[in-house]
Structure 1
Amino acid sequence: MCLVRFLAALTALACLAGCTATASPPVSPPVSPSPATGPTGSTPAADGLVSRIPGIVRKMEPSVVTIFTDNSLGSGVVYRADGIILTNEHVVERQRRVQVAFADGKRVAGRVLARDARTDLAVLKAERDDLHPATFQQKLPVQGELALALGSPLGFENTVTAGIISGLDREVPDSAQAGHALVDLIQTDAAISPGVSGGALVNGRGEVVGINEAYIPPQEGAVSIGFAIPAGTVVWAVEQLLDKGKVTHSFLGVDLRTLTPEIARSLDVEAEAGAIIISTARGGPAADAGLRQGDVITAFAGQPVRSSEDVVDRLRDLRPGTKATVAIQRDGSVQQVSVTIGEAPAS
């Protein structure tokens, strides 16, 4: 499925809060640029970085592949030399067999081993064992760092685009309402187009800092706003997929909407911001704790909540079996409710 259709699907109304139960990786220290400038106003440090881009591309080309399915294509990154490749789940969708094309011109069959819809990651095994694994930088990049996006946009294989790390801890708007909340993402202005999904977002050292995930299309008023899954999340999920064929996710069991002024007025809710519970899963952690339809979550696990994505974001840091305090507004009063986090059922 192409990225545009994937983003369109994210505007669906259903939401089941549950996401990766892992803390965000720490941020690496920034690099201080040289204050000296050349005749054109660029710094020697910047000129040197740009001159290294061709070498970074040559280093990364063997580690980035094109994945062909029955009806579309996407990109992938070599994870292990024995043929293990990772990509986005939405690239392979329900496919079990794919074709994998490499930068050296070879094309081989591949088999999808495991996938996880919530992190939008999948692993496959290509019928080749002389591959060049990418190096993954699991610490978050620094805002302003060089970013190269490698993949196959619109089928143009072995393409690279350049930009910077535009932001961290981003979320794709309204994605939680589709049950596949995309949060804690890296934002970049390196061009990401349909077909680049599953490819590599690379730093100035030739390390993968993220897996290209999505972009906001120009018709939404966006200019070069793309997103990638941080490498720390990727490695955490992929290792679980390879070890046990699935990823364990924390689960709250609520259908949420971000509280807007319109919703607040229509439901006569006094809270100014938060996530309103539309329904709870029968027998789920929220229902068992006494949370119910119409409650507005204003804080979760000690952090304020201003959107439904905030709840999913906080849930990432909580393992199944742990207890968390949920602050809610109900009938004009604030209450504190203790919830035991569950494990999300198989999707």
Structure 2
Amino acid sequence: MCNRNISELRIRSVETNNMSNWQITHTIDTLTMVNNKFDILKKINDLINDGVEKKNIFITDKSFLITTNYKTYFEKGNVLENTPSAITKVANIGRFITMEYNDEIIKINCLFSYYKKINSLLNKDLNCRLRGTYLLKSYNELFKGGIEKAFDCLARSAKQQVMDIYERFLSPDNKKMNKLLEKIDSEKTKGLNKNYLNFQKLADDSIKRFALSFNRFDRPILGIYIEKNHTFEIINSDQMYKNGEESESRIQLKNISKNSPVLLVLLVTGVMLGFISYLAYRDHKVNNADIEDNMLDMPQSTHEVIRNVLINETGEMVYADQYTTKELDAQVANLAEKNLNKLEVVTNRKKVNIEIRNNI
């Protein structure tokens, strides 16, 4: 968090509501989640303003894990290139849900779904996984020959791997092997027909599903599908890599005092600072010179503060650049409003008092 405008956020429980250990944990977890999501939303809005099509901006249907540091994912940057190792990771971070309908993503989801089904079969019968080189080969075939050829390529490779393994057995069970080969073909037919249609139906409602996933997951994974070379860039990799320890926009817990009243002290920067400063100005005590000097310029509505914070380069709540050509995307605005509502709940003045001390 170096070289950033950092302020101290002090949250003190009111006398009639001394916070329990659970409430302390819930408050800190919510602040972290809200902080990360606001940071993501600013990035998305900037990408849209920079010309990235919304059909190529995705969220996955899984949260990232706090038990994984994702070091092997992002040591070389946040773009997962088309290598056997990287494409395997891409296939396992979840199904892709785009902000708008994207036919290529439907096909990718379908292929990855078949790959994971094959892995399940191989793991159950042979305690192994399909080689990453085979997945990459079929993935490349998807854009050269289409989805049917990609499925054929993956099925052919999987069956070859199965036969190679059985050949090494002293007494191979050919009946069991043939049954496994049949299952691989059966899943291919199912994937090309029923599963593909299901993915198409889900994609028809992509706008709603994107919002539901973003609001549902505490630690969402978001990124950009780069059409030119069919790679994936994870835009919140800084939150995932080493559990966000090196993220410049992270919120840091500085101190907890459990004496009555409970006092939480956190360091806040970036977009989160803009929103928490607005709530401090609107509902709580103001002890911030920048806020006091600009009281007349304060946002007068939720929509105005969302627009200001997400458009300003530094995430300030006061509209700083009147000449900017940036706009606030409607989908982003709706997601930001939901996120702000969660922040309002844990900073409700009936339960806590909040104070901002700037330039710590």
Normalised by the length of structure 1, the TM-score is: 0.26
Normalised by the length of structure 2, the TM-score is: 0.25
More strand by share: 1
Which has the higher Rg, Structure 1 or Structure 2? 2
More helix by share: 2
